[in-house]
């Protein structure tokens, strides 16, 4: 019975813990603009898991109010999660369309109040909650993944060092959350009597739901760089987005003619870019941004980014890291005694060993040590 109680309350304790951490961490003001949304998400999740624990610990309680609160929170979780993802990937504030995502939970709240006042409330009236929740969950998971993918693509086209700036982990966590939510619906479908008085709840609660919730709020609180920082670095980001909308329409309408012009224009710009990199070795700057390159070239960011994307078929980040790896390959071939691989990585512009090894292996198909040993044996 003790384990059953512990497993029932575990998701609640996890979300309550992170709610308290977020509050304490922002007592003297919000550190980031997305923190209020993260706090709201953790608070609603805490109430939801508390209600879920009560349902499983007190079967056949007949407490309609708990069922209604759980249902309202369930319908609110994914809209709030999407608002958080939208904030960290676009820096946009809540708008009218975001509020519409909460309509199912508002509808259930109004119905619950009316039915409670008239004394006709019964949980059977809310059999539509799980189907609606499933639809909202799948739709918003898709929307959230699109936001994260677009943001990560933008980061790779603006910064050479993308470590701690992209949200690949958050995308994985989102998919795990989708799985845990489906599991939650499955638990509701089976019924709480199935779990009462035994430890069958331990696997879904402890190993899946609790761990995923813990990792999500941990990663959310750890975010240092988001769309707010991109906006502060790139003041004309909105103009660029509008430019791309107009340009995409123009390309679709005049694709063949535009491709010929682009090839010629990009060729000239890429020659200048290549000369600049070989002469000044700007890629050695670990925090190099595309705006640094643009300032020296005397061009504009959108044109340079577009040239690298279409002319070279890679992002700005991949382009810079390829130049770094190419110099590292040359240095490793003639590396003097007493020089470490880490020193070589730092000299060419990598400030993170894991990033250096990942890009080196991606480009050469082998580790720096393997490359160095094979190159030496070839020269000998």
Q: Give tens-digit pLDDT for 135-153.
A: 899 999 999 999 999 999 9
Q: Distance (Å, rounded) from C-alpha 196 to C-alpha 59?
A: 7
Residue 86 burial (CB count, 10 A): 23
Residues 372 and 264 in one domain: yes
Residue 263 burial (CB count, 10 A): 11
Last residue of a domain, one of 186, 209, 233: 233
Residues 173 and 252 in one domain: no
Residues 39 and 158 in one domain: yes
pLDDT of residue 198 exceeding 70? no
Residues 205 and 242 in one domain: no
pLDDT digits (tens, 9 = 90+) for 292-303: 888 888 888 888
- What rounded mean pLDDT belongs to the chain? 81
Q: Distance (Å, rounded) from C-alpha 42 to C-alpha 23?
A: 10
pLDDT, average across residues 38-64:
81
Residues 176 and 302 in one domain: no
Residue 95 sits in a domain of what CATH number? 1.20.1070
Backbone torsions φ then ψ of 289, nearest 5 degrees: -115, 160
Last residue of a domain, one of 233, 256, 271: 233
Residues 210 and 255 in one domain: no
Residues 60 and 134 in one domain: yes
Residue 250 burial (CB count, 10 A): 11
Residues 281 and 149 in one domain: no
Q: What is the residue-wise DSSP string for 178-216?
A: HHHHHHHHHHHHH-GGGTTTSSTTHIIIIIIIIHHHHHH
Contacts of 231 (CB under 8 A, 6+ apart): 91, 237
Number of compact structural domains in the chain: 2
Among 72-81, 163-172, 264-273, 340-349, the range scoring the smallest mean pLDDT is 264-273
Residues 223 and 186 in one domain: yes
Question: Is the CB of residue 285 less than 8 Å from the CB of residue 349?
Answer: yes
Q: Given its phi and psi angles, is residue 365 left (phi above 0), alpha (psi -120 to 50 degrees) or beta?
A: left
pLDDT of residue 264 exceeding 80? no
Last residue of a domain, one of 233, 252, 274: 233
The confidence score (pLDDT) of residue 294 equals 87
Residue 306 sits in a domain of what CATH number? 1.10.10.60
Residues 129 and 194 in one domain: yes
Domain extent, residue 140, equals: 2-233
Q: Distance (Å, rounded) from C-alpha 316 to C-alpha 303?
A: 12
- Of 129 and 29, the one with more pLDDT: 29
Nearest alpha-carbon partner for 138 in 97, 166, 174, 170: 174
- Pick the most confident of 122-131, 212-221, 224-233, 267-276: 212-221
Residues 286 and 329 in one domain: yes
Residues 21 and 52 in one domain: yes
């Amino acid at each position: 019975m003790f384990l059953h109680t512990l497993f029932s309350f575990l998701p609640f304790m996890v979300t309550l813990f992170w709610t308290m951490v977020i509050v304490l961490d922002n007592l003297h003001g919000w550190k980031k603009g997305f923190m209020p949304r993260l706090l709201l998400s953790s608070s609603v999740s805490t109430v939801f898991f508390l209600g879920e624990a009560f349902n499983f610990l007190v079967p056949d309680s007949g407490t309609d109010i708990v069922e209604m609160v759980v249902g309202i929170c369930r319908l609110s979780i994914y809209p709030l999660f999407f608002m958080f993802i939208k904030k960290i990937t676009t820096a946009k504030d809540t708008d009218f369309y975001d509020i519409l995502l909460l309509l199912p939970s508002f509808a259930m709240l109004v119905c619950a109040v009316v039915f409670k006042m008239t004394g006709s409330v019964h949980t059977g009236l809310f059999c539509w909650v799980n189907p609606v929740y499933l639809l909202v969950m799948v739709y918003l998971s898709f929307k959230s993944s699109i936001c994260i993918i677009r943001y990560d693509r933008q980061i790779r086209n603006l910064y050479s060092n993308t470590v701690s700036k992209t949200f690949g982990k958050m995308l994985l966590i989102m998919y795990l959350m989708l799985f845990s939510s489906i599991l939650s619906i499955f638990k509701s479908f089976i019924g709480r009597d199935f779990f009462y008085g035994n430890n069958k709840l331990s696997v879904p609660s402890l190993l899946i739901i609790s761990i995923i919730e813990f990792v999500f709020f941990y990663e959310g609180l750890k975010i240092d760089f988001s769309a707010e920082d991109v906006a502060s670095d790139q003041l004309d980001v909105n103009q660029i987005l509008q430019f791309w909308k107009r340009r995409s329409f123009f390309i679709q309408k005049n694709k063949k003619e535009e491709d010929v012009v682009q090839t010629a224009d990009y060729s000239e710009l890429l020659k200048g870019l290549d000369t600049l990199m070989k002469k000044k070795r700007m890629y050695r700057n670990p925090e190099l941004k595309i705006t640094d390159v643009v300032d020296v070239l005397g061009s504009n960011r959108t044109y340079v980014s577009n040239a690298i994307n279409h002319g070279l078929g890679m992002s700005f980040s991949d382009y810079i890291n390829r130049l770094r790896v190419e110099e590292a390959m040359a240095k490793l071939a003639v590396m003097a005694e007493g020089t470490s691989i880490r020193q070589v990585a730092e000299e060419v512009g990598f400030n993170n060993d894991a990033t250096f090894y990942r890009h080196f292996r991606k480009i050469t198909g082998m580790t720096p040590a393997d490359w160095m040993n094979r190159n030496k044996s070839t020269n000998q």
